Structure 1
């Protein structure tokens, strides 16, 4: 877990890691980073965190309701989308504590709350990366996999895999969270975690497990899908779903790559010595942290931007009366079912439509069969 509890700029005398903000840079009295003019304004950071929290909770809860109420979790894609939204929404609940730390310039909630925030942060990062990886492989199976692979993509198996991934993500998080405390006045890791090469090992492990490895799998999967699309072997629905999920993967890279880059620079003590350079470095660090937080609220926006189905879902949930007046029932069976299974792949649509039409045919012809005497 390398998120906001990761490496912060080290001073010349001791390391000063922070969970979220520059407010913990006052843990060492000799640190050049604790000059008031070098700190990012706490009020500005608190406002950013509040906006991210409100947008993240609202957007991800809206996605969860849409997946359960409207999509009814009838495809593996909808299960992964809901799992990603649920992980982001749970993490957003810890942001008010971080806002309080920014405004109070201290951590008043005790060690238990500090470790809970670390656990939620780490679970969010690893579970999000794992869900994105699973979605990219699921798309690859849906469009390029053999017919027998479609039986592996049931919603039930997707839910079981998601639970397994969330459980496994706790493995690297819990030992690290045990080293966090608020004894220094802020929620920060202990010296045993950051002294010597511990900081680099901690950050490097989180980078590999939570960013580099998932990103490599996503690049390979979506690269194969782009090759298939270039040969016109994908249907319209498959292209829309693939584009939506690929945009989320791109956002994952944009939000997390700057954070890891500046953290590695901080751990390697690559920092300017001039006061103006130090202030610029701290500002850049805070921007990267805010960008990594924004990852948890950008997925719903991308769903609405790239998926007509999600736009319809959001409109139905936010404006139910207007939608009820403007929507008219249709008797076009093909269009109706294609619209319902928008998040599924063509194989799922064909199989379920065939079953539906077969069932409808049997229902209609049964009363017309002659009665045997």
Structure 2
């Protein structure tokens, strides 16, 4: 069994884009000794890593830990990440060798964890292990919780989803159309190709935010205004959408990826008074709130049933799995912020 493991540590907290080389690199590669197994522990070999926009917030320079929903990643500690891993040594009866689990393995080739920190992957018809990082994992739960619990979307609502070709957005589109049955689903994505894919998932129309005609296209797609906006991007698109919501419209504020690497150039809001004038509701949320409330078990059953019924697509197009050498993990991760993925971005370690 291995006695050492390679790890990527956080070397320097970024203000804007992560720096991947040079003396100011955001991350550094090290080799460290693995601890011996104690009772009820497992030695894991990481096979796949989840890439999530939230990770950017965990390493932001200058943040106040008291204002964060999870402790920031400390400098000189492993970069935090969820992943799929195989048990290769165990002192836990419930996790024999060969078991596949989901756990916070960090950017680490091998990891020693308590058995209680691991969730066994349960086979589901049509699902691969990577889907439990995306559609049937935290991503799908975030989409369902934000749309159904936070925005309270119903079949009578028209819904706009930004980042609709991303991991969460693509699930929101499918849930809105095929589970909730919303009367109209409008996606926003970053290319014509991605827009056509979002429409294939169930969106009635998808508009390209990189097109010169984006504002006109958005206005046309939201004619008559809409009841719900699921916001994954923040910034200028959120500002525009405040003008396209009906009176007492609801915004589920899931993320702000357009500003994560913007530093002091982050886009602000010009249309804030729309919230007052039209009595809009804007509510931020974190999926761990649903975990604490004990709701995720029921959500998972709904999503799993929807997969079996063909309402949720789990084909290869719903995830971007990139074979990656361990030394190149950061290079794959930064693709999140340049539109380098369709659906869930997953690192497959080779």
The TM-score normalised by the length of structure 2 is 0.23
Give the strand-richer structure, 1 or 2: 2
The TM-score normalised by the length of structure 1 is 0.22
Give the helix-richer structure, 1 or 2: 1
- The structure number with the bigger radius of gyration is 1
